[in-house]
Structure 1
Amino acid sequence: MLQRFTARAVVVGDRTGTVVPDAVLDVEDGVIRWVGRAADAPEAPDAEVTALPGVLTPGMVNTHSHAPMLLFRGQGEGLPLDRWLNEVMWPREARLTPEDVEVAMTAASAEMLRHGVTTSVEMYFHPDRMAAAVRRTGARGVITHPLLGLPGFGSFDEQLAAAAASGGTGDDQVEWGIGPHAAYTVPLPVLTQAAEVAREHGMLLTTHVAETATEGNELLAQHGQSVPQLLAAHDVLGGRVLANHCVHMDDGDLELWREYDVAVAHCPGSNTKLASGTARLRDMLDLGIRVGMGTDGPASNDNLDLFEDLRLAAQLARLRERDATALTAPEAFWLATGAAAAAIDREDLGQLTAGRRADLVHVDSEDIAFVPVGEPTDLLTHLVWSVGSRHVRDTWVAGRQVVRDGVSTTVDEAELRADVQTRAMRLAGR
């Protein structure tokens, strides 16, 4: 059955900020077949028509998330990253059960869908349970097998074996990857092995790099090289590599990223909340480094709302460069859509163009936040600067509606909230 969506406008999600007014978008078998102006639309007498009064945008792609940390939202407030991890997060995570992770991931996935985020790259424990949660809500996920030496989660060899076993076994909703935490928590030989497994299976490898100014000091003192240099020297780069944060990078580090085509997950919300610093976003883009927006976890952001992060990314880039043109509104929106999809090598997502997956978001434009509109591109400007996730009304993944009028169609969020509250109190020892 052909699905036809009509809308006030379609925002494509490309770098130049293409906006198609009075638009039609056709979907068949979960894939976009045609998009353009209504006056040019092909005949489709048997189509199932969904008339939308607002703006249709691509489903956003969250390139870095630890979504089950919704269990710890707001905890450890005011602590720097090292103390936040060691004193608050890791002790509580040691008490996690697989059921805790699945319930929290389900709640977080539903939250992201309400915010217009249809795909997220997840790095957390019990990946099989995270995958089950994503399938339940109807979202998409790149679920990475974690590598981190914490009690109760197996040896590095066991974690790597589990990651290798999942290689190439994904489906339309779930793609598998590998997520070593960082070079300061995972031995370099293990990182090398992880990269070998990822390349062998064509999997995404994602790891934290240069999030704080001091995290690489011990490695620098021991080896005389920065973390990016060490990753290159130990054959970790190459293949599909996504580096998270990348706040404290010098010119040589960025040149390595360009040389090896390493993508970056830019997480301004988390970086500012934890006072980690401001990434060199403009420099990265000018070098041709692929960058996509990420929220990080809901314990360090503290939400999963890419509308807030893309706006903050533009503000920080302009402030850092002392230049009001340092990041345009079209670029900011692209970083959460088309660019984010490219950063994880998923050219089937992130833009509303023929041949891509029909992951769609309907944003209500009958609001003062969308006034005035003199040109169609004003709609995109308003999406970035004045509109937020509160204006998201409906979300579809592969043409299947998973949010209707701001409410999940697949899970009971009230029930999930109560369940998360109970589990969070247990993990906090209360």
Structure 2
Amino acid sequence: MINQAEIKADLAIEARWIVPVVPQNQVLEHESVIIKDGRIIDVLSTESARQKYDAEHTIDLNEHILIPGLINLHTHSAMTLMRGLADDLPLMTWLNEHIWPVESKMLSSQFVHNGSLLGCAEMLSGGTTCFSDMYFYPQATAEAALQAGMRANLGLVVLDFATPYASDADDYLQKGLESRDSWRGKPLLSASLAPHAPYTVSNSSFEKIITYAEQLGLSIHTHLHETQDELAQSITQYGVRPLRRLADLGVLGPNFYAAHGVHLDDAEIKMLHEYGCHIAHCPASNLKLASGIAPVKALLEQQVNVGIGTDGAASNNRLDMFAEMRLAALLAKGVTADATAVPAAQALQMATLNAARALGLDEQIGSIEVNKLADLTAVKIKSPETLPCYDPISHLVYTLGREHVSHVWVGGDLRYQKLGDQEGIFANIEPAELREINALWHGRLQQYK
């Protein structure tokens, strides 16, 4: 007979509150999460945990809410280097006259690695443990994510025009797939095919992408229905709106997730549901570029899976998932005149489990459940602006911010910690390295301001 007190574990996290996300709206009080070999092996009362498990390490979070690590479903992490470079402009002006010209001069593997590492540090310190990226030189972003110890789905970007990274769609695909091959076997990394947008990718290129996605079991990640100009251009060139064009090409399916989805009519929302597609809602970026407000309530009512993303720091200025959750909930209420639209628990689920589902990772991450990977974020409630707390779930969305994140684990490994008012400490990123990155690229890029 085994003495229960001798069951070995690597880590016991004793929390004041746990919000597991599954089931929705549940709050556990004075319970512990037990971790072994990077996975959650038990969630039980702290009193019982102390009797049952002999953990190598125990951490007491008696003023904290423990949640699943946040998942940023759409970003361009390397574009952190262009934060604030071209503000207060509409999307196509922003792209054509500012972002693409800068990329044509500055884009390189070093640019992407440095920008991605800066972005990873920002996301990790804000409680994000996994992000879905779309950018050039994905191998450079992969190296940054591995250094940070974050989980990442790296989009293998495809365009029909040349950049410093690649010359045409075939070149993009070849380089992207070679990068994917180089990181296969790395448990923190996965890949998707990332045609930039319907207005930058031809039918023949989409057909190649579909073939590769089917053969390799990869998701397809694109921008979609972001602006009215995009819709008008598609009707002029193809005779149909972009979503219908993608449906006719055979792009849509459960492995398809699209960023934005701002301009969707009822028939298109129904189509997304029928094909089992997913939407990455990026509320701050859509507002800042004056693209519009996505019909999130209607999407959710049609049972379309909606996650949350920040987009890049060049169009949002922040890779802040707490801010996005709050904005997503408030916008849904404001545009529908329905105070019950996107309640706090729904917003939190969009930033965790729904995003995991879009990435095909919902069996592994996105909630605090036994056998899932221990990707966890702790948020501290102590400072005056956080008190009092009556409802921890509501607090997470409407009161707390990334500045209240105290601990972040990925696969059970502590990747970030902030004690009191001290500067946060990363496991694998030195503050001096981030300062050097900023000094280098600020000097090179400020001429484009």
TM-score by length of 1: 0.96
Cα displacement (A) at 1:47: 3.9
Q: Which residue of 2 aligns with 1:417?
A: 435
Q: How many Å separate the matches in 2 of 1:292 and 1:170? A: 26
Tell me how far 1:249 sits from its aligned partner. Answer: 0.6
User: What does residue 151 of structure 1 align with?
Assistant: 163
* SS of equivalent to 1:106: helix
One of 316, 327, 337 as aligned partner of 1:301: 316
The answer on 1:398 being equivalent to 2:398 is: no
Aligned to 1:253: 268
Q: List aligned pairs for 1:98-117, cutoff 5 A.
A: 98-117=109-128
State the secondary structure of the residue aligned to 2:342. coil
Number of the residue aligned with 1:48: 57
Decide which moves more: 285-294 or 159-168: 159-168
SS in 2 for 1:45: strand
Q: In the alignment, which residue of structure 1 is the partner of 2:394?
A: 381
Which residues in structure 2 correspond to 1:32-43 (within 5 Å)? 32-41=40-49, 43=52
2: distance between equivalents of 1:71 and 1:110?
13
* Pair 14,269 (structure 1): closer, same or farther in 2 beyond 3 Å: farther
How far residue 239 of structure 1 moved from its aligned partner, in angstroms, is 4.7
Please name the residue that 2:38 is paired with. 30
Return the offset for 1:428: 4.5
Counterpart Cα distance in 2 of 1:204 and 1:115: 26
Equivalent AA in structure 2 for residue 398 of structure 1: G
Distance 2:119 2:37 in 1: 27
> Who is 1:285 aligned against?
300
Aligned twin of 1:6: 14
Aligned 8 A contact 1:63 1:340 in 2? yes
Which amino acid is the alignment partner of residue 24 of structure 2?
T
**Structure-1 residue corresponding to 2:257:** 242
The range that moved more, 163-172 or 72-81, is 163-172
The letter for the 2-side match of 1:12 is P
Correspondence for 1:71 among 81, 85, 94: 81
Distance (whole Å) between structure 1 residues aligned to residue 357 and residue 351 of structure 2: 10
What amino acid is aligned across from residue 413 of structure 1 in structure 2?
A: P
For residue 378 of structure 2, the aligned residue among 351, 362, 377 is 362
CA contact (8 A) 1:147 1:159 kept: yes
Q: Give RMSD over aligned pairs.
A: 1.6
> Does structure 1 retain, via aligned residues, the 8 Å contact 2:108–2:164?
no
Alpha-carbon separation, structure 1, partners of 2:263 and 2:337: 19
- Take 2:351 and 2:22, find their aligned partners in 1: how far apart are those partners? 10
Greater Cα offset, 38-47 or 147-156: 38-47
Q: In 2, are the aligned partners of 1:8 and 1:52 still within 8 Å (CA)?
A: yes
- Which structure features the higher share of helix residues? 2
**DSSP 3-state at the match of 2:333:** helix
* Alpha-carbon shift at residue 15 of structure 1 (Å): 6.4
Structure 2 residues not aligned, in runs of 5+? 1-8, 419-423
- Cα pair 2:157 2:193 within 8 Å, conserved: yes
Moved more, 420-429 or 285-294: 420-429
Letter in 1 for 2:394: T
Residues 1:129 and 2:140 are matched in the alignment: yes
Counterpart of 2:164, as a letter, is G
Shift of the alpha carbon at 1:362? 1.3
User: Given residue 309 of structure 1, which amino acid in structure 2 is its aligned partner?
Assistant: E
Is contact 2:108–2:165 with CA below 8 Å preserved after alignment?
no
SS of 1:214's partner is: helix
CA distance in structure 2 between the aligned counterparts of 1:423 and 1:67, rounded to whole angstroms: 15
* Secondary structure of the structure 1 residue equivalent to 2:53: coil
**Structure 1 residue 40: Cα displacement:** 4.1
AA at the equivalent of 1:151: T
1:230-267 deviation per Cα after TM superposition (whole angstroms, max 9, x unaligned): 00101111251111100001112111111111100000
- Contact 1:199/1:240, CA 8 A, preserved across alignment: no
Cross-structure match for 1:266: 281
Whether the aligned pair in 2 keeps the contact of 1:145 and 1:163 (CA below 8 Å) is yes
1:8/1:221 Cα in 2 relative to 1: closer, same or farther (>3 Å)? same
SS in 1 for 2:271: helix
Deviations 1:271-325 (CA, angstroms, capped at 9, x unpaired): 0111110000011111111110000000111110000001000000000110111
Aligned partners of 1:382, 1:46: CA distance in 2, in Å?
Answer: 30
Structure 1 window deviating more from structure 2 (325-334 vs 219-228): it is 219-228
> Could you tell me whether the CA contact under 8 Å between 1:265 and 1:291 is conserved in 2?
yes
Is the contact made by 1:265 and 1:292 (CA closer than 8 Å) also made in structure 2? yes
**Per-residue CA distance 1:136-176 (angstroms, 9 max, x = gap):** 01111001111122332222111112334436925211111
- In structure 2, C-alpha distance between the alignment counterparts of 1:170 and 1:64, rounded to whole Å: 23
